[in-house]
Structure 1
């Protein structure tokens, strides 16, 4: 067997905002959360102060301590006390990462349409083959259904076969690049009109659904270099073309998630909030999902790419109440440490 790759977004130089609390007392945190929900009203600030300043592993320990001490399920207790997008965010924080992703995928399978297909690509495409299979296993354990079967029933879009190939493990996990094939595919993108890239297109579907992350990255980088030599870019040529808008969105996810992982998340967050309405599901998914991986790096690049604002400022403008506060708590979790409660 050849060497396996990891998803491109997992850069060791990138930083999350949420770090494990030191010192950490799971029993004190469990007590503080219980007291925040006891009696009339709920102390949301106390809940946020704990959950946004603990790593996911620590939250799982708090969950166990709460169950032991109060014979209640912490997540159920939180769900009973909270509502709306705030409850969704807290639930995402309390889920293990793979379970959170599985829930997002299940929700998308139920919504259907273009939003479903783009959302599936946004979640699945950046993941390594190994990670996809792991999430598929968690999905089955959580929902007692098979992920690729749910997608097959719900997705009727042009990228359905690409998504299914990845979900069933057809994407190569090799880190070796076939340079000749990468050059040939790069030439295809450079010499062919973007309108002719659109799916259905057997060549493009095979590349997108079966080539390894390393192969795709090399192919797109080569193609972009050819466009750059002509004062263009792969993305600009595509965006300026007469491609179907949904296909443009899908191609953008694929190109950016392979070649510009941080930029992919930066733009996803920006456009989730830009204009009328907010894509709250996407906002929650990325802020929570990247909080321990590279959210600090995303935050920094966000300011560099959109210098008139910041990630926190856009969240402040687009959300409100406890929902806003918990998101800001995650985004700024690296700003100042909050002392952990201690048992007496």
Structure 2
């Protein structure tokens, strides 16, 4: 293999990787998730491990947790299909029969395709008006367009209704408008070019948009502009107005402000948004296992390392230690395994 002597840095790395057939793997290696593709993966060995863990004398929970929390979502799906082919049994049903409580729910979430898990969480949230704002906003605002598209397709298939219809019937006001707009998946993608004129126009539009009749301006800008652009809009707005945009939201929307404030916090700093949600879930009298499980699983392959860093920075204690102190029972080992490590 010859390498041009003038090449350095990323270009040299790309050339070497291309010769090795690994050029398309760099994005996966660069993830800020805690869970990576297991390099020594053997689907047959994992099937045998899980079969012994279920069928032996006494359920071997530690083996089940060890296998499922050390494989990527894609690898877990391969295990599930292979288990069905080799044993004529459904792995998910077999594990549900063997386990119970919070650990059972965590294992079910780990084994489900991401789109199905998101669809079920979205459905649950829309049926429970108390959590619609937080869970529906979380899912619709933080998934990539392809993930969102797949989630909504599964939602329609599994529940025989469009998610948009449930949003219309179960929510109201600006929350409904935001969720419906987000569900269309029309947010612009970041192209790497800064549009200073558009940022200026958006700041002026938000400044002028007063009263209920102008909420459409807020909804359009918050749900269609890409996050990188919106962060610039937020900063520019503060420079011009002398205060954060969130203050204006509270003053203009009063009791309806929370939905916009939640979306603004997602846009400003997504890992911090999730760190806050995890902290609140851990502060409840009984930890909110559903929230802990959903966030740790859904972010484990994307940005959980960033979430851990924001958690430690804001609350002065690591997420790992916080989980150790608050979570009890068999579920603790699974959640700690997803969190992965202590932050010193």
**TM-score (ref. length: structure 2):** 0.80
- Counterpart residue number, 2:136: 120
2:327 maps to 1:322:
no
- Higher mean displacement: 252-261 or 45-54: 252-261
Q: Deviations over 1:256-275 (max 9, x none)?
A: 22221222222221222224
Q: Give 1:32 shift.
A: 1.2
Whether contact under 8 Å (2:186, 2:224) holds in the other structure is: yes
Q: Deviations over 1:171-192 (max 9, x none)?
A: 4457466533432433565688
Name the CA shift for 1:22/1:172 in 2 (closer, same or farther; >3 Å).
Answer: closer
2:262 maps to 1:261:
no
2:175 maps to 1:167:
no
Q: Give 1:116 shift.
A: 0.9
CA distance in 1, matches of 2:171, 2:53: 42
Alignment of 1:154-303 (within 5 A): 154-173=170-189, 175=191, 179-187=196-204, 201-226=215-240, 230=242, 233-235=244-246, 237=247, 244=254, 247-248=257-258, 250-303=259-312
Whether contact under 8 Å (1:18, 1:333) holds in the other structure is: no
Q: Deviations over 1:56-110 (max 9, x none)?
A: 1111111122112211000111111222222221111111222221221122122
Alignment of 1:59-138 (within 5 A): 59-111=76-128, 113-138=129-154
> Where in structure 1 are there 5+ consecutive unaligned residues?
1-9, 336-344
Q: Give 1:166 shift.
A: 2.2
CA RMSD after TM alignment: 3.1
2:57 maps to 1:57:
no
CA distance in 1, matches of 2:135, 2:50: 33
Name the CA shift for 1:68/1:303 in 2 (closer, same or farther; >3 Å).
Answer: same
CA distance in 1, matches of 2:86, 2:280: 43
Q: Give 1:51 shift.
A: 0.7
1:201 aligned counterpart, secondary structure: helix
CA distance in 1, matches of 2:217, 2:153: 30
User: Which is helix-richer, 1 or 2?
Assistant: 2
Q: Deviations over 1:264-289 (max 9, x none)?
A: 22222122222434332221111000
- Counterpart residue number, 2:63: 46
Q: Deviations over 1:320-339 (max 9, x none)?
A: 1111111001111799xxxx
- Counterpart residue number, 2:19: none
CA distance in 2, matches of 1:160, 1:14: 33
Q: Which has the higher contact order (CA 8 A, sep 6+)?
A: 1
CA distance in 1, matches of 2:284, 2:166: 32
CA distance in 1, matches of 2:311, 2:304: 10
Name the CA shift for 1:22/1:171 in 2 (closer, same or farther; >3 Å).
Answer: closer
CA distance in 1, matches of 2:74, 2:176: 34
Q: Give 1:146 shift.
A: 1.6
**TM-score (ref. length: structure 1):** 0.80
Whether contact under 8 Å (1:114, 1:157) holds in the other structure is: no
CA distance in 2, matches of 1:58, 1:65: 11
Whether contact under 8 Å (1:186, 1:219) holds in the other structure is: yes
Name the CA shift for 1:179/1:86 in 2 (closer, same or farther; >3 Å).
Answer: same
